[in-house]
Amino acid sequence: MAKLEILEFPDPRLREIAKPIAEVTDAHRELLDNMFETMYAAPGIGLAAIQVNVRERLIVVDISEDGSDPLAFINPEIEVLDREIHQYDEGCLSVPGFFETVERPRKVRVKALDRNGDPFALEVEGLLAVCIQHEVDHLDGKLFVDYISPLKRNRIRTKLEKVQRRRA
């Protein structure tokens, strides 16, 4: 397995739209394994392929404390099951060091393919629902900072650009 580079906001590649996967291959399974390794090392609880510069509709999630519940979703689709909105403090591996309150539906159904290409569906709520919605947003070129005010978003952009210039 290999740890992958995570793109950071405001990298324009994070705004690209991921393409559906026609057939799940060994290369996709290897990518999923590498994404899990990258997510755990970061550390994080979710990662979308677009964040590691792969424009395909794959996400990995594990909200357990000990990394014991890895979930892989290929071509995920979300259906809102409960219009009730909850607020969560969200962070993102592509927006390191920042957390903001975001409103999302409390309960959703996600339909996807597993790592073998078999279809499945899950009804989820709470943190898992938030995490899946957050990662699917990435596949559509959307970041959690898009849910906050332009002033806060620009402040975060400026701070991250400063950090990135220092690293270069």
134 is in an annotated binding site: yes
138 is in an annotated binding site: yes
Q: In 3D, which of 44, 40, 39, 124 has the Cα closest to residue 76?
A: 124
**CA 72 and chain centroid, separation:** 11
Cβ contact 88:102 at 8 Å: yes
Catalytic residue list contains 135: yes
Task: List C-alpha distances in Å: 68 to 61, 62, 85, 92, 138.
Answer: 11, 8, 28, 21, 24
Q: What residues have CB less than 8 Å from 121, skipping those under 6 apart?
A: 109, 110, 111, 112
Catalytic residue among 77, 90, 135, 161: 135
Annotated binding site for Fe cation: 92, 134, 138
Catalytic residue ranges: 135
Annotated binding site: 92, 134, 138
